[in-house]
Chain A
Amino acid sequence: MTDQEQFRQETRDWLEKNCPASMREPMSENEIVWGGRNAQFPNPDSKIWLERMSARGWTAPVWPTEYGGGGLSKDQNMILQSELKRINARPALFSFGLWMLGPALLEFASEEQKLKFLPQIVRGEIRWCQGYSEPGAGSDLAGLQTRAVPDGDDYVINGQKVWTSYADQADWIFCLVRTDTSVKHEGISFILFDMETEGVETRPIKLISGSSPFCETFFRDVRVPQSHLVGKLNAGWTIAKRLLQHERTSISNFGAVTGSEPVPLEFVARNYVGTNDDGKLADASLRERIVTHRMEDLGFQLTLKRVALEATQGSGPSAASSLFKSYGAKINQDRCELTVEAMGAQGLGWSGDSFSEDEIAATRQWLRSKGNSIEGGTSEINTNVVAKQVLGLRDHQ
């Protein structure tokens, strides 16, 4: 037996013993475990599952063991992921710490910071939020104005962030602040602080879908020890960009992560618009657009698969991966639009008994999906980046 075969066998045996049966069922969005000081567990098994996985470091399989990670090689992690998939195991933990902050800390933080923050992330003890966008700094993120001014051993932070995901539920924030006003990109620093610090205030933003996953976040004379600055002073933009790469990957994979397959569009359409005698959808125009969308979706899925395979061949990240974010957004938006259109008036209800739970959910998802091409960098900005970095086209002078 090779080392890999042995690792697969051991992993399979361990999962067989340790993954509770209920954790092998598809999950809905409100069953997600985000961890944190006020962690909510939809059932006791999800707590056990998180504890067992994080004790092995398998919530962060490739992070070094000294920081609480699993210490697995790339190959071992592929085996672990395929074994998790084999039994349809739910992710034990959803976390911006795991997806975004952790990889950046591994690359840029001091040893002391790594030892302090990474193990907490692995165990899901601290829930992180991201302080990036501001009212005047969206696509042009480097125009941010939140100020951090040195004062003794601290920085004093004043300003406002917006679109801070789950800020009202987060324990700590990783935040971009301006530490030099005379330059743009080179005057930004990356800093960490507790959301319970005096002077921090969050206000949820109500979206068109009715939900409030984002907040406005205000800082008034918030005192943060200077030791919480990550990397060098005024070198935060490099960290910010790296972190955005992780964010874009995690957004394009989000649907895949929850493991919940949406009902195929053609089933929805058949129910609501009916079929002709020959079995074709009665609305020929809708049928044409559904099949076009399905082909786009399938082509995208195949490309994700191809790029993942190429990555295992060690040829480096494929140029195609730069497109995942904007393609993923468009495909999800098209699916939502077509679903609502297929449902007709039943897809446009807001509340009440005249609409089924699925219908209301489809409406809310459609509205939610409009954010897909805005959050984490708009699709237009993503396209600019591809033009420049992948195709080698220069900036307009």
Chain B
Amino acid sequence: MAMILNEEQNMLRDSARDFVSDKGPVSAFRKIRDEENADGFDKALWTEMAELGWAGVIIPEEFGGADFGFQGLGVVLEETGRTLLPSPLVSTIVLGSSALMLGGSDEQKSTFLPAIAEGKCLLALAAEEGAHHAPYGVETTATADGDGWVLNGNKCQVLDGHVANQLIVSARTSGKGTDRDGISLFVVAADSDGVEIEALSMVDNRNASNVKFGNVRLDAGDLLGTQDKGADILDAVLDRGRIALAAEMLGAAQQVFEFTLEYLKERHQFGQPIGTFQALQHRAVKMFGELEICNSVVMEALTAVDEGRDDMPAMASFAKAKVGDAMHLISSEGVQMHGGIGMTDEHDSGLYLKRARVAEHTFGSSAWHRDRFATLSGY
């Protein structure tokens, strides 16, 4: 019965929807943007979200979480996606806490997870090194030194990098080029000597950073998981990120579709609503259909994570590609169908268009994931 929400998840959806429409509407995002809030999100609101249990939504109860699983998380992300509400949900909760839960030692888990669940510790994953997604293209090195390592290299597109307390960094401990083997993950305090973080200004106004590591000293206890086998964790973490992001994108696309459909009914030209024109009707139906399909795909993908299924990687690529394409279509149609007003900063369409392209790119584009899906399917 995983394709439809259970009672608990429905309640979570209702409370998330109420909370987001009350405290985090699109105007809240505009305020953060226009006031040039250096944090890139509302810290006080994040504290409230944590109090609602959202920061610990996928964290086990023994570490202070709510243990609602990814289906619960997906419900929340769809709602924050609807209003473009920025928060550390993806960087800290999806990526950070997943990395710790999947690869962390007992000590790492008990050190960080309870603080994450309380909303008091922010994490960021520093894995990308170029303009295009390439998780194995790691040139950052961790060179053995005594019983620890010395970290050197440059990372980019680090989500929430400049506000994070801890960075999870992929670095090469052996191998070369795009070898999957030889990558290791480390937990690095953001205020360590030699860490330099530069916040980027992105088109969607979400947080992303470039991070430089210059002779950063790492202890034995900073390794996350097994040396040289970091890609096993990294892949699983990224797949969770892809599925979570698909849920967020689905919420955003749904929202654009709904307000665009309303506009088709309201806006009159030639003496009638523009939604009476067949050229627009058929494109509206296309959007509706794609959303229905995406809804099923996202539900199935979230379930695949919770059930620990073997096809989770394929489902992640499927969901990211499918929802990415739908988001691309709907965010573009949102602007076009609004005509001139859609081109203005005052109207929300453009905000969703900008968010769409960044989200489509993040953790691999639709084309990247189609290629991966085909490879995983054996062709």
Contacts and interface: CB of A to CB of B under 8 A. Distances in A.
Q: Do A and B bind each other?
A: yes
Interface of A: 266, 269-270, 275, 279-281, 287-288, 290-292, 294-296, 298-300, 302-303, 305-306, 309-310, 313, 319-320, 323, 327, 380, 383-384, 386-388, 390-397
B379 A387 contact: no
Contacts of B371: 288, 291
Nearest to A304: B296
Contact of A295 (B4, B265, B284, B322): B322
Contacts of B118: none
Interface of B: 1, 3-4, 261, 264-265, 271-273, 275-278, 281-282, 284-285, 288-289, 292-297, 299-300, 318, 321-322, 367, 370-371, 373-375, 377-379
Contact of B288 (A290, A305, A391): A391
22 contacts: A275-B379, A280-B379, A287-B379, A288-B367, A288-B370, A288-B374, A291-B373, A292-B370, A295-B321, A295-B373, A299-B293, A300-B293, A303-B293, A306-B3, A306-B295, A309-B4, A383-B285, A386-B289, A390-B285, A394-B272, A394-B273, A394-B276
A306 to B, nearest CB: 4
B281 A302 contact: no
Dominant SS at the A interface?
Answer: helix
Given A288-B370, A302-B300, A391-B284, A279 B378 contact: yes
B374 A391 contact: no
A280 B374 contact: yes
Given A275-B379, A383-B285, A394 B275 contact: yes
Contacts of B261: 391, 393
A269 B371 CA distance: 16
Given A280-B379, A302-B300, A309-B1, A387 B292 contact: no
A397 B281 contact: no
A227 B321 CA distance: 58
A274 to B, nearest CB: 11
A323 B289 contact: yes
A302 B293 CA distance: 8
B292 A393 contact: no
Given A266-B378, A306-B3, A320 B292 contact: yes
Contact of A396 (B278, B296, B374, B379): B278
Contact of A393 (B275, B295, B322): B275
Contacts, number: 124
A284 to B, nearest CB: 9
A387 B373 contact: no
A397 B271 CA distance: 9
Interface centre among A288, A327, A396 (most CB of B within 10 A): A396
Contacts of A294: 373, 377
B296 A386 contact: no
Given A281-B379, A299-B296, A313-B4, 17 more contacts: A291-B370, A291-B373, A295-B318, A298-B297, A302-B299, A320-B289, A320-B292, A323-B285, A380-B282, A383-B282, A387-B278, A387-B284, A394-B265, A394-B276, A396-B276, A396-B278, A397-B271
A394 B273 CA distance: 8
A300 B371 CA distance: 20
Contacts of B296: 299, 302-303, 305-306
A64 B128 CA distance: 64
A393 B264 contact: yes
A309 B375 CA distance: 31
B144 to A, nearest CB: 33
Nearest to A327: B289
A395 B285 contact: no
Contacts of A266: 374, 377-379
A392 B265 contact: yes
Given A299-B296, A306-B3, A392-B265, A384 B375 contact: no
Interface centre among A294, A298, A299 (most CB of B within 10 A): A299
A395 B288 CA distance: 18
A279 B272 contact: no
A381 to B, nearest CB: 11
A394 B294 CA distance: 26
Contacts of A298: 297, 318
Interface centre among B277, B281, B294 (most CB of A within 10 A): B281
Given A266-B379, A275-B379, A394-B275, A299 B374 contact: no
The 5 A-B pairs at the shortest CB distance, nearest first, are namely: A387-B281, A299-B293, A302-B296, A320-B292, A266-B379
A291 B374 CA distance: 6
Nearest to B3: A306
B275 A302 contact: no
Contacts of B318: 295, 298-299
B294 A299 contact: yes
A323 B292 contact: yes
Contacts of A275: 379
Contacts of B367: 288
Contacts of A302: 3, 293, 296-297, 299-300
Interface centre among A291, A390, A396 (most CB of B within 10 A): A291
A287 B375 CA distance: 10
A241 to B, nearest CB: 19
A306 B4 contact: yes
Contacts of A394: 265, 272-273, 275-276
Contacts of B374: 266, 280-281, 287-288, 290-291
A383 B283 CA distance: 9
Interface centre among A270, A294, A296, A298 (most CB of B within 10 A): A298
Contacts of B275: 393-394
A302 B272 CA distance: 38
B299 A306 contact: yes
A393 B265 contact: yes
B288 A390 contact: yes
Nearest to A387: B281
Nearest to B373: A291
A112 B292 CA distance: 43
B8 to A, nearest CB: 15
